[in-house]
Amino acid sequence: MLAEFSIVPLGKGESISPVIARVMSIIAESGVSYKANPMGTVLEGDWDTVMNVIRKCHDEGMRDSDRVVTSIRIDDRRGREPRMEQKLESVEQKLGRKLNK
Protein backbone atom coordinates (compact mmCIF):
# COMPACT_ATOMS: atom_id res chain seq x y z
CA MET A 1 0.00 0.00 0.00
CA LEU A 2 0.94 3.64 -0.39
CA ALA A 3 0.13 6.11 2.36
CA GLU A 4 0.73 9.82 2.12
CA PHE A 5 0.65 11.59 5.46
CA SER A 6 1.45 14.87 7.10
CA ILE A 7 1.97 15.81 10.73
CA VAL A 8 1.13 19.31 11.96
CA PRO A 9 1.84 20.09 15.61
CA LEU A 10 -0.32 23.02 16.72
CA GLY A 11 0.71 25.81 19.05
CA LYS A 12 4.41 25.67 18.14
CA GLY A 13 4.61 28.85 16.06
CA GLU A 14 5.08 29.15 12.33
CA SER A 15 8.13 26.91 11.95
CA ILE A 16 7.62 23.24 12.71
CA SER A 17 10.82 22.06 11.03
CA PRO A 18 12.47 20.86 14.28
CA VAL A 19 9.56 18.46 14.88
CA ILE A 20 9.47 17.40 11.23
CA ALA A 21 13.20 16.67 11.32
CA ARG A 22 12.63 14.26 14.22
CA VAL A 23 9.69 12.69 12.37
CA MET A 24 11.82 12.22 9.24
CA SER A 25 14.47 10.51 11.36
CA ILE A 26 11.86 7.99 12.51
CA ILE A 27 10.84 7.37 8.91
CA ALA A 28 14.41 6.99 7.64
CA GLU A 29 15.32 4.58 10.44
CA SER A 30 12.16 2.49 9.91
CA GLY A 31 13.46 0.87 6.73
CA VAL A 32 10.17 1.62 4.97
CA SER A 33 10.45 2.92 1.42
CA TYR A 34 9.50 6.62 1.40
CA LYS A 35 9.52 9.88 -0.53
CA ALA A 36 9.38 13.19 1.26
CA ASN A 37 7.79 16.20 -0.37
CA PRO A 38 7.13 19.76 0.80
CA MET A 39 3.62 18.92 2.00
CA GLY A 40 4.08 15.44 3.50
CA THR A 41 5.63 12.03 3.01
CA VAL A 42 4.62 8.93 1.04
CA LEU A 43 5.37 5.54 2.59
CA GLU A 44 5.19 2.19 0.78
CA GLY A 45 4.83 -1.16 2.51
CA ASP A 46 2.37 -3.48 4.17
CA TRP A 47 -0.50 -2.06 6.22
CA ASP A 48 0.80 -2.86 9.70
CA THR A 49 4.31 -1.60 9.04
CA VAL A 50 3.21 1.65 7.40
CA MET A 51 0.57 2.42 10.02
CA ASN A 52 3.06 1.69 12.81
CA VAL A 53 5.51 4.21 11.35
CA ILE A 54 2.76 6.83 11.04
CA ARG A 55 1.72 6.20 14.66
CA LYS A 56 5.31 6.65 15.85
CA CYS A 57 5.55 9.90 13.89
CA HIS A 58 2.28 11.16 15.37
CA ASP A 59 3.49 10.27 18.86
CA GLU A 60 6.72 12.19 18.20
CA GLY A 61 4.70 15.26 17.26
CA MET A 62 2.70 14.91 20.49
CA ARG A 63 5.92 14.93 22.51
CA ASP A 64 6.13 18.75 22.30
CA SER A 65 2.52 19.71 21.59
CA ASP A 66 -0.84 19.33 23.23
CA ARG A 67 -2.45 18.93 19.81
CA VAL A 68 -1.27 17.37 16.54
CA VAL A 69 -3.23 17.02 13.30
CA THR A 70 -2.20 13.96 11.27
CA SER A 71 -3.71 13.58 7.80
CA ILE A 72 -3.46 10.25 5.96
CA ARG A 73 -4.39 9.27 2.39
CA ILE A 74 -4.17 5.57 1.52
CA ASP A 75 -3.90 3.94 -1.91
CA ASP A 76 -4.14 0.17 -1.51
CA ARG A 77 -3.97 -2.02 -4.63
CA ARG A 78 -3.45 -5.76 -4.68
CA GLY A 79 -0.70 -7.38 -6.67
CA ARG A 80 1.23 -4.25 -7.65
CA GLU A 81 4.61 -3.73 -5.99
CA PRO A 82 6.61 -1.48 -5.89
CA ARG A 83 4.17 1.25 -6.84
CA MET A 84 5.74 4.52 -5.76
CA GLU A 85 7.99 4.71 -8.82
CA GLN A 86 5.71 2.80 -11.19
CA LYS A 87 2.87 5.28 -10.82
CA LEU A 88 5.05 8.19 -11.92
CA GLU A 89 6.74 6.19 -14.69
CA SER A 90 3.33 5.31 -16.13
CA VAL A 91 2.33 8.98 -16.26
CA GLU A 92 5.69 9.96 -17.78
CA GLN A 93 5.30 7.31 -20.47
CA LYS A 94 1.87 8.62 -21.44
CA LEU A 95 3.08 12.22 -21.26
CA GLY A 96 6.18 11.51 -23.35
CA ARG A 97 8.56 13.29 -20.98
CA LYS A 98 10.00 13.20 -17.48
CA LEU A 99 8.29 14.95 -14.58
CA ASN A 100 10.10 17.10 -12.04
CA LYS A 101 10.77 14.96 -8.98
88 part of a folded domain: yes
64 part of a folded domain: yes
Q: How many domains does the chain have?
A: 1
CA dihedral 31, 21, 37, 10 (to 10 degrees): 120
At residue 99, the pLDDT reads 75
100 part of a folded domain: no
At residue 101, the pLDDT reads 66
State the CATH number of the domain containing residue 88. 3.30.70.930
5: pLDDT strictly greater than 80: yes
Residue 6's domain comprises 2-95
d(CA 99, CA 97): 7
Question: DSSP string spanning 17-32?
Answer: HHHHHHHHHHHHHHT-
**pLDDT tens figures, 11-57:** 878 888 999 999 999 999 999 999 999 999 999 999 999 999 999 99
**Is the distance from CB of 2 to CB of 83 less than 8 angstroms?**
yes
42 part of a folded domain: yes
Q: What is the pTM (predicted TM-score) of this model?
A: 0.85
60 part of a folded domain: yes
